[in-house]
Amino acid sequence: MTTRNVDARRLNVKGLLIAVGLPVVLVGALVATLLGTGAFSRDSQGEDASLWLWTTPAGEIARVNGLTAATDVRFELTDAAGNAVQIEQTDSHLLLREIATGKVSAVDLSTLELTGQAETAPGEGVRVALSDEGAFIIDQTQGLVNQVDRSTLEAIGDPLQFPAGLTGGAFDSTGKLWIGVPREGTIVKIEPQDSGAKALATEVVAEPRQDLALTVLGDGVAVLNSTAKQMTTIRSDGRRSQTDIELAGPSETADTSPGTINSVTVTDPPSILTVNDDQARTFQIGAASSTLLGASVEFHERIYVPDGTAGLVWVYDLEGNEISRIEINSGNGPIELYHTGDTLFANAVNTNEAVVVSADGNARMAEKNRDDILGGDAPPADDESGDDEGDGETAPEVGPPGAVTNLGGTVGDGLINLSWDAAPNNGSSLTKYTVEGAGQTWELAPSQRVLEIGDLDNGTPYTFTVTAHNAEGAGDTATSPSITPSADVPGAPGAVQATANNDGTVSVTWEEADGEGNDITGYQVEAIASGQQLVVGTATSNALTVPDGTLQYGQQYAFQVTTLAGSAASEPSPLSNTAVPINVPDAPGNLLAQSSTTSAGTINVTWSQPSNNGSNIEKYIVRAGTQTQEVTTTEASLSGFGNDEQVPVSVTAVNGAGESAPVEGISNTMAAPQITVTGTEGLANGVRINVSLDDGGGQATCELIYNGVRQGKEDCTGSSGTSFFMPSPASTSNTMKVEIKNPASTASTEEKTVKTTNITGKVYFGCDSMDTQYCDSVDGVAVYNAAKGGNSIGTTNTGDTYKLYCWTTGNSTITPRGDESDGYHDYHPGKDGSNKWVKIDYASKAYIPFVWINVDGAGKNSTGDLPQC
């Protein structure tokens, strides 16, 4: 059984949006290869085909095997370190788009040749799509869908024009491209054809201009309508379902998902929504709200949720029960999910970690930066394990080695010096070379590619075979041309000198030799190191510069030179001095330049140590704006800039060879904070002021100033809306303003007057209409300067109306009725006895028993909305 190559898809790249057109321009001769001059073949690996995964800090792609979870090839994309890259791939082709530059590259995976390049507008908003049936460059912003040749990236036919602001752009299992057109409320199925793309079908899924997100499923497509809170699913057999959904907050959706169930990540509050036709389910997840909480997918009846902040992939069953947590070092960056066949890949783009998940849920870590592979940074740690200096002309797929090349020899008196270039290891490190000829057999370490064979007969022709071996067995055998030893040889050169240059090259010079009657035709230069012998070149003069990359940085080498007279060669010269190839360091990686949150006008810069290329890194030079700082660690802090100043930053590494290329970035310093009033609210029991604030990128505090009194500082870091509440009596006016402060500056809102709800009440005192002994002794209801019966400050009577502020309690209950010496009297019919007192606007401090006043709009025995004092 084979799986369609279209199944390899990027899952969590949503809407790459940019407001530009889509020029597709071929930008150069297609002669460069990704791995030197070599190439290798890549056969379909069926259901568990390998995938190429991106590492942003290193600016390289690495191929991870779905069966073994092992990385077997790495390749650095020139000038792409630190940039986000979209990867689309099949078994035979690879498309890369650098988000920052807009450059699109096409790679033929059967040869690893760069077969085409195209320029698109930089930034997000353009995406590429690839299947066995064709390739597209989609300008989502401009609404252009352009079919291109997947090898050359030249346009095929005219682009399809749709209303601007497309969504999606992924192939289904039949090789048809699906896009969403929110302005029309439709999704469109497009077929790549020899003459250009053709729109096959248009499905209406929403009202025009609603917020749509399109996901291509293992069976059909699903459209999330965030505006109408609906999910529409259209299956490959034409069945159509539409169901209402709960969508509590912002969401992330995958462009493609391997299962039949569509899974949506709600990022705040964190939860998962799953829809299977007309069945919808929502469940909470353990992740915290984060911008790095990515699109989830359903894979073999499990929901996988990438969480870059926590460095986890959360795994749930379809009921919402947590099954496991897959740990992966995210480097505080996104985790991207991909699938191919029966394998799910989780890629941490900010680090060298990836995870391969099989159908049964087994997760295995894959290191993308292995050095003992094609494209690695160093040879294997075990010198006897193999030789990675092959020319890469055959496939690095695991198998026996290829044949050696340039097998030949020079001759001397009764001897032959045999040499050859390394054999491709084909994915398994070389273990030895076997040399046969002249009735003898030799086994050599893989780092030795020169063999002197003596005790031969002058004038007798000899041929030799060389075979490379690895763990998979013996490779193809190479046979030398006929070589005849001769006593008629030139003299050896003298005074060989080697000088390591600062660019990775080594200059070798020598004194001209005596031809001893032979015409000197040139000189052969051999480099010798621990466990290594290799011919590094020939020259017709008495000097040779060994090219950069021929020798290993940091390795000691000595050199010997032999004189050539046709096929005859002299004895080797005496050894030269020792030279160590070095080069300037690689550019530092993982540059992070950001505003200090604690100091105004300050930026903090961190980076990772690059390869030193044979010479220890002595220091780093950090340049920020007009400032320069030299440090020996991988971090620096630079100050003295203005508020909210955009500062270009670069970091270079310095070793004995010089200064590296820079890694560059931009950082803004802390800005002054901002705060504005968005509204006020007066309640019966207090007042509220609502504000919108921006901390300016610094650690900020806010303080409410209420009626001129500061209420204490609290943290308000971030950019959001918040509110401040203060309890207050009813029927009062208050002033409120909020001050925000960060290390750069202080800002405050205008002062607002906020009134609490106006509540009134009327006095009722029965003595105003009754003739009793008690009534004869009083002039009305006494008003006191304190609750619980302080000093009387006056009287009030039935019908008097006051603004009420609040209520409190006294020491005893007052009952407005009872038996007296002259009979039973009720001074407030229907009023219960109460120990409550009400503060009124009779004077600055004035209280009246609740039994003698009724709150307007409330029952006789209710204080209504009146707050407690």
Write down the residue that tokens 């903090």 correspond to: 604
* Model confidence band, residue 84 (pLDDT cutoffs 50, 70, 90): confident
Tens-digit pLDDT profile for residues 302-329 = 999 999 999 999 999 999 999 999 999 9
* 671 and 697 Cβ atoms separated by less than 8 Å: yes
* 690 and 679 Cβ atoms separated by less than 8 Å: yes
Question: Which burial class, exposed, middle or buried, applies to 239 when counting CB atoms under 10 A from its CB (0-12, 13-18, 19+)?
Answer: exposed
pLDDT mean over 434-438: 93
Listed range (383-397, 408-422, 470-484, 599-613) with the worst mean pLDDT: 383-397
Higher pLDDT among residues 314 and 125, named by residue: 314
Q: Please tell me the distance from the alpha carbon of residue 505 to that of residue 512, in angstroms, as a whole number.
A: 22
Q: Please tell me the distance from the alpha carbon of residue 731 to that of residue 404, in angstroms, as a whole number.
A: 97
**How would DSSP label each residue in 495-554?**
EEEEEE-TBS-EEEEEEPPP-TTSPP-EEEEEEEETTEEEEEEEESSSEEEEPTTSS-TT
* 704 and 738 Cβ atoms separated by less than 8 Å: yes
**How would DSSP label each residue in 116-148?**
EEEE--SSTTEEEEEETTEEEEEETTTTEEEEE
pLDDT of residue 48: 46
The one-character DSSP state at 233 is E
* Model confidence band, residue 22 (pLDDT cutoffs 50, 70, 90): very low
Tens-digit pLDDT profile for residues 502-513 = 999 999 999 999
Encoded tokens for 650:
């670069």
Backbone angles phi, psi at 580, to 5 degrees: -120, 110
pLDDT of residue 435: 93
Does the pLDDT at position 23 exceed 80?
A: no
Does the pLDDT at position 379 exceed 90?
A: no
Residue 269 preceded by cis peptide, ω within 30: yes
- For residue 261, the SS3 value is coil
pLDDT of residue 442: 87
> Which value, to the nearest 10 degrees, does the dihedral of the CA atoms of residues 816, 817, 819, 824 take?
140
Does the pLDDT at position 815 exceed 80?
A: yes
pLDDT mean over 240-264: 92
Residues sharing a CB contact under 8 Å with residue 137, sequence separation 6 or more, in sequence order: 22, 24, 104, 118, 120, 126, 127, 128, 146, 148, 153
* 86 and 13 Cβ atoms separated by less than 8 Å: yes
pLDDT mean over 685-701: 95
* Segments of 77-209 assigned E as strands: 85-89, 93-98, 103-108, 113-119, 126-131, 134-139, 144-148, 160-161, 167-171, 177-181, 186-191, 198-204
* Cβ neighbours, 10 Å, residue 714: 11
Question: Which burial class, exposed, middle or buried, applies to 149 when counting CB atoms under 10 A from its CB (0-12, 13-18, 19+)?
Answer: middle
pLDDT of residue 253: 94
pLDDT mean over 229-234: 95
* Model confidence band, residue 398 (pLDDT cutoffs 50, 70, 90): confident
* Model confidence band, residue 377 (pLDDT cutoffs 50, 70, 90): low
pLDDT of residue 430: 79
CA distances 220 to 16, 178, 184, 276, 371, Å, are 22, 10, 20, 11, 41
pLDDT mean over 247-267: 92
- For residue 32, the SS3 value is coil
pLDDT of residue 5: 31
- For residue 448, the SS3 value is strand
- For residue 461, the SS3 value is coil
Q: Based on C-alpha coordinates, what's the Rg of the chain?
A: 41
* Model confidence band, residue 384 (pLDDT cutoffs 50, 70, 90): very low
pLDDT of residue 27: 30
* Max mean pLDDT range (201-210, 483-492, 685-694): 685-694
Nearest to 794 by CA among 742, 845, 859: 845
Does the pLDDT at position 561 exceed 50?
A: yes
Tens-digit pLDDT profile for residues 819-844 = 999 999 999 999 999 999 999 999 98
What pTM was estimated for this model as a whole?
Answer: 0.46
pLDDT mean over 55-82: 82
Q: Please tell me the distance from the alpha carbon of residue 280 to that of residue 738, in angstroms, as a whole number.
A: 44
pLDDT of residue 18: 22
Nearest to 4 by CA among 87, 67, 91: 91
Cα angle for residues 452, 455, 456 (degrees, 5° grid): 90
Higher pLDDT among residues 257 and 395, named by residue: 257
- What's the mean per-residue pLDDT of the chain? 86
CA distances 108 to 39, 170, 587, Å, are 10, 20, 28
- For residue 610, the SS3 value is coil
* 682 and 668 Cβ atoms separated by less than 8 Å: no
Does the pLDDT at position 725 exceed 80?
A: yes
pLDDT of residue 546: 96
Does the pLDDT at position 802 exceed 70?
A: yes
Does the pLDDT at position 685 exceed 80?
A: yes
Tens-digit pLDDT profile for residues 453-471 = 989 998 899 999 999 998 8
pLDDT of residue 143: 84
Q: Please tell me the distance from the alpha carbon of residue 516 to that of residue 529, in angstroms, as a whole number.
A: 30
pLDDT mean over 114-123: 82
Higher pLDDT among residues 409 and 196, named by residue: 196
pLDDT mean over 107-118: 86
Higher pLDDT among residues 56 and 315, named by residue: 315
Tens-digit pLDDT profile for residues 608-653 = 988 889 887 889 999 999 999 999 889 999 999 999 999 999 999 9
Q: Please tell me the distance from the alpha carbon of residue 533 to that of residue 776, in angstroms, as a whole number.
A: 128
Does the pLDDT at position 73 exceed 70?
A: yes
The one-character DSSP state at 776 is H
Q: Please tell me the distance from the alpha carbon of residue 205 to that of residue 182, in angstroms, as a whole number.
A: 9
The residue type of 43 is D
Compute the Cα dihedral for 303, 215, 55, 376 and give only its sign.
positive
* Model confidence band, residue 125 (pLDDT cutoffs 50, 70, 90): confident
Could you tell me the end-to-end alpha-carbon distance of the chain, in angstroms, rounded to an integer? 79
Tens-digit pLDDT profile for residues 739-756 = 999 999 999 999 999 999
* Cβ neighbours, 10 Å, residue 438: 17
Does the pLDDT at position 35 exceed 60?
A: no
Beta bridge partners of 629: 622
The residue type of 81 is A
